[in-house]
Amino acid sequence: MSNEKNIVIVDNDNNYLSLVKEYLLRHVQGSIVSCFLKAEDFLRVVEDCKPDLIISAYRLPD
């Protein structure tokens, strides 16, 4: 059985997305799919890739 994971990152800030993605690429075996905060995109991506993990990388307002 493979250790690879399908991961979806949902974000509202491209800088945070880049940091999270960079960390995961170094520490997690698998494919990483990212999408922006639009419900229809999120649902489509989740249905298409059946992720093992969904990560929220939201940046809170200052």
Alpha-helical regions (H) of the chain: 14-27, 39-49
Give how many domains the chain has, as a whole number: 1
For residue 3, how many C-alpha atoms fall within 13 Å in the half-sphere facing its CB? 3
Residue span of the structural domain in which 30 resides? 8-57
With respect to residue 31, please indicate whether it lies within any of the assigned structural domains: yes
With respect to residue 2, please indicate whether it lies within any of the assigned structural domains: no
Instruction: Name the pLDDT band for 1 (thresholds 50, 70, 90).
Output: very low
With respect to residue 62, please indicate whether it lies within any of the assigned structural domains: no
With respect to residue 1, please indicate whether it lies within any of the assigned structural domains: no
Q: What is the pLDDT of residues 8-61, one digit of tens each?
A: 777 766 677 777 778 888 887 777 766 555 666 777 777 887 888 877 766 667
- The whole-model pTM stands at 0.56
Per-residue pLDDT at 59:
66
With respect to residue 36, please indicate whether it lies within any of the assigned structural domains: yes
d(CA 38, CA 55): 15
Per-residue pLDDT at 34:
62
